Amino acid sequence: MRWQLPYWMYNIYCAVGMFAFGAACSQLTTDVMKYTIGRLRPHFYTVCLPNVNCSLPQNQHVYHTNFECTNPSYIFNKRVMKELRLSFPSGHSSFSMYTMVYFAIYLQKRMTWDGSKLLRHTLQFLAVLSSVFTAMTRVSDYKHHWSDVLAGLSLGTIVACIVGRCFSNLFARNRQTEAPEHSELTNHNGHSDLNTAIRV
């Protein structure tokens, strides 16, 4: 006797699996951009303390490439030194915005019973607001520039919209309801019934 997977379990698998797929895509894109660009974080000078005297006229308005970090607290911490060059885009911003926008899209398509409109929009607003708050803390903590946070928020939003609209089955119900309407307007010869009636 063959064992069949319950329908509710299949739905959970699809929802969680698609969410995880989108999260992996968002994080992978963020990491590729981080390690490719290598932008310095705002607190780079405080943590690194490079051996460059910026008060000298010859060292001002110059892009320094040859320097050494002298901060004894972090000079031997390779992880901290590597993180100092991974500012763009913000990983916290991209991941938090992806999760909350995807959650908002999920609520929009699944929370459809009568009287749920105000509650649904309230939850969506709070979800996105929590993501924006997370992004703003990265600026206030001097871990990212404002442009890093903006890029992370945009990246997370774009990935969430693409995964929710193109890859997930959240909009499958709309496609199924649109198909019969289109099929009723066509006859077996592939022509529109309306056009056939006009010809006759």
Q: What share of the chain is helix, strand, coil (3-state, %, to 5)?
A: 65, 0, 30
Closest by CA position to 168, among listed 3, 8, 71, 23: 23
What are the C-alpha distances in Å from 69 to residues 73, 132, 144? 10, 33, 20
User: Among the options 61, 121, 144, 182, which is catalytic?
Assistant: 144
Is 145 an active-site residue? no
**3-state helix/strand/coil string of 46-109:** HHHCECCCCCCHHHCCCCCCCCCECCCCCCCCHHHHHHCCCCCCCHHHHHHHHHHHHHHHHHHH
Distance CA 59, CA 73 (A): 25
User: Among the options 43, 61, 64, 92, which is catalytic?
Assistant: 92
Q: Residue 169: what residue type?
A: N
φ, ψ of residue 31 to 5 degrees: the values are -65, -40
Is 92 an active-site residue? yes
Distance CA 166, CA 173 (A): 13
- Catalytic residues, by residue number, are 92, 144
